Structure 1
Amino acid sequence: MKWIDIPPVWLGLALVFTWWTGILQPSALRMDLPILDLLGGLLVGGGLVLMGLAFVEMRKQRTTVIPHMEASHLVTTGIFARTRNPIYLGDALVLAGLALRWDAPLALVLVPVFMFTITQRFIIPEEARLRRAFRADFARYCQNTRRWM
């Protein structure tokens, strides 16, 4: 069952709730503004770009992108010089963007819930493994690079 406990599954669940919220929320709460469609599209696009840049950088360093696995290298270059968790940040941007695109403003509450869940279930354990494996290098990296942005 550990294969089910991966971030894309959590993102998928949050997206299903977001879509469902958009369908079920009262029409009085709908905003239907073209600017929100544009903003939503930009957030989704930005999130996908962040994820892509992170995957490319991790592939260049020949380390895993799969949570729960031991990293062979500490990646601190490219997008990882700006944020320690570009893939998770990308996930959160996609979630927020689709909430706007699907005209589900109530579902924006799911973004911090998703971020909290990802932090507790994945980021904290991943950082503990990196701290054990890369000690001083990881400590320096944490001092110089924020977790989210």
Structure 2
Amino acid sequence: MSRHRQPPPPLALVVAGAVAQRALPGRRATPVSRVAAAGLAALSAATLLAPVAQFARRGTTVDPRDGAEPARLVTTGLNAWSRNPMYVAMVGLLSVHPLHHRSPLAVLPTMAFVTWIDRRQIPAEERALLHAFGAEYERYRSRVPRWIGPRRR
């Protein structure tokens, strides 16, 4: 009997990325980098929390891992602009440290997160959503970008 090992939850990957960023060299923050980082942090936090609240109101899960059964397909709010606004927000949160500390090296964990999520996590979620919602998900996927960008009509 083979056991399927679950990947870590995306939020755990964000925390791991943030810990790794702190270990990388950076420069002293400037007033401009502080303000820019604070603005990005606030925007990213709001972008993360809005869909979480919307999913809760709609009675569906935010857990993207295998076995989590989505009850509803959420296509409104920020999900009308990106199929993955929570991941966009997580990338924003991981971009705060490199911006604040003006550290190009601290972008590496952010890039690793994007690569993992885009190549491993999102494709698995898309297969599950296609299985659960069929043509409804196909229509949604055809008009809303995976990350961010222009909406297709």
- TM bucket, shorter chain: 0.7 to 0.9
Alpha-carbon displacement from aligned partner over 1:79-136 (angstroms, at most 9, x marks no partner): 1111111111111000001222244332113222211111233211011100111111
The DSSP-based 3-state class of the residue aligned with 1:73 is coil
Q: What is residue 31 of structure 2 aligned with on the other side?
A: 34
1:93 is matched by which residue type in structure 2?
Answer: G
Q: Root-mean-square deviation (CA), in Å?
A: 1.7
Superposition pairs for residues 123-142 of structure 1, below 5 Å?
A: 123-142=122-141
Q: What is residue 9 of structure 1 aligned with on the other side?
A: 12
Q: Distance in 2 between matches of 1:13 and 1:106?
A: 15
Q: Distance in 2 between matches of 1:59 and 1:96?
A: 27
Q: What is residue 44 of structure 1 aligned with on the other side?
A: 41
Alpha-carbon displacement from aligned partner over 1:6-61 (angstroms, at most 9, x marks no partner): 1111111110111111xxx2xxx636332122111111111110111111110121
Q: Distance in 2 between matches of 1:42 and 1:112?
A: 21
Q: Distance in 2 between matches of 1:5 and 1:102?
A: 27
With structure 1 as the length reference, what TM-score do the two structures score?
0.87
Q: 2:50 aligns with which of 50, 53, 61?
A: 53
Q: Distance in 1 between matches of 2:14 and 2:61?
A: 19
Q: Distance in 2 between matches of 1:79 and 1:17?
A: 29
The DSSP-based 3-state class of the residue aligned with 2:106 is helix
Q: Distance in 1 between matches of 2:79 and 2:85?
A: 7
The alignment of Structure 1 onto Structure 2 pairs a total of residues equal to 142
Q: What is residue 92 of structure 1 aligned with on the other side?
A: 91
**Is contact 1:44–1:98 with CA below 8 Å preserved after alignment?**
no
With structure 2 as the length reference, what TM-score do the two structures score?
0.85
Alpha-carbon displacement from aligned partner over 1:56-82 (angstroms, at most 9, x marks no partner): 110121100112212011000111111
Q: Distance in 2 between matches of 1:34 and 1:106?
A: 21
Structure 2 portions without partners, runs of 5+:
149-153
Structure 1 portions without partners, runs of 5+:
none
1:92 is matched by which residue type in structure 2?
Answer: V
Q: Distance in 2 between matches of 1:73 and 1:135?
A: 12
**Is contact 2:40–2:96 with CA below 8 Å preserved after alignment?**
yes
